[in-house]
Structure 1
Amino acid sequence: MTTRLALLASPTPQARAAEETLRARYDWAGVEDADLIVALGGDGFLLQVLHMLLERRNTVPVFGMNLGTVGFLMNEWRMDELDRRLGRAKPFRVSPLTMTATTMDGEVRVLPAINEVSLLRETRQTAKLEVSLNDRVVMPELVCDGILAATPAGSTAYNLSANGPILPMGSGMLALTPISPFRPRRWRGAILPDKARITLRVLEPDKRPVSAVADQREVRDVAQVDVAVDRVRDLTLLFDPEHALDDRITMEQFAG
């Protein structure tokens, strides 16, 4: 192989065993020197790898092999012909979201999200939120357990479980999906162009505290959350041609 490869594995026994096999079969570089990363694990581990790349401002492609549970974002685990698979792999660009969360104390936290940004009530009290798009209030009051903004890559995860729409890769869209909406009861969310700037303001934050989560990273007691697509830091996932992500997302719409 002329491409410098790095190998990362989740701490599960299955992933560690696969890592040992591949390390004995191929030459590997460190993450800092690699042109491409092979990740062994499940979807959660792949998200960890992608977040690591965002923090390091490193945009090398990632080829995941499933040694987890679901593996929706992963390729099939096979130890043979890795160089051939990587040469044939189809790239998909993933644009992460940027969450800017302002707490009730005025602290500002900026975090990336590859799947979704979600707001969730912290107590038994429902959340009350004001929803704005591009500085225009489109919903003065949403009473709910929460709300989330999902990318196409994340639309089949938490978003789908909350009855949100599945978004094809390359659609240029975001899903804005309520979680157990109480008022307006019949609002089921919206599909937005990914150029939209979403602002979610917490109403009555002292009485009805809300937390904000960017993938797995939480900020508690938020007063306002702004969400927008990061146009600077694109990520690249690699897939076997027969297991391309866009085809998986399409077929997921027909799953029972």
Structure 2
Amino acid sequence: MQIQHDAKWIKRLSLLSKQYFKPTFLGAEYIDASVPAMYVGNHTMYGMLDAPMIIDYLYNEHKVAVVSIADHGHFYIPLWRDLYKKFGAIDGTREYVRSAMQQGYSILVFPGGGREVLKRKGEAYQLIWKERYGFLKLAQEFGYDIVPFAALGGDEAYEIGLDATNVVNTKLFQSLLKVPKLAKFLRYGEVIPSLPKSLIPKRLPFYFQFMPSQSLMQIQNIEELQDFREHIQQQIYTALSELKRQRAEEHAEFTQ
């Protein structure tokens, strides 16, 4: 499998976002381009605001050739899938991820996947990781450390107008889910997005916090793996709280 990384394309497409959101990146000391790692964090609403800036920062600022694990649905759409590939993204099958790791690429993982980007009211900055452990098992298999990170800003850039929960709970939609093939195609309602009040995102500062790398080599069983994942999640939640506090302090200083 050939991985695509178009540095100029990545930089060009993320330039507008960087100018608009003025992102702050913290924890650069935890990024080591000489050793492949798995970068694991929260995915913000719609997933189109945070990922390009992270990929651009890692690739163009730190020379980390990171491969982004994307939802299968992106690769069903002509032209759109080509755009994703230019960002170094691959379809998130275990076979493809394993191939990328065999080639020595670092991996960017949002364990919440498509459900986490299709947030509903009351779900801002929630980690919706379900029972996913495959990414950790692959990291352990290839000896990759986990570098957790937190992304702040994306879940506040849009205000939800039509909540997907209201759509999924209608009698009509519930009747559609009774058709097995259709229910599977719609992922039982998970692929239904909430619609924003405006297509133009709010202009607010974004923050990204990278944290120290952590090894899985001491993990011996599924219970320890579960504890490790919970620890990573708690670190992300804590970092998000700290970023909110920092943002509030900076805003207070700016308005004085």
TM-score by length of 1: 0.26
Indicate the structure whose relative CO is greater, using CA pairs within 8 Å and at least 6 residues apart. Answer: 2
- When you count helix as a share of all residues, which structure comes out higher? 2
- When you count strand as a share of all residues, which structure comes out higher? 1
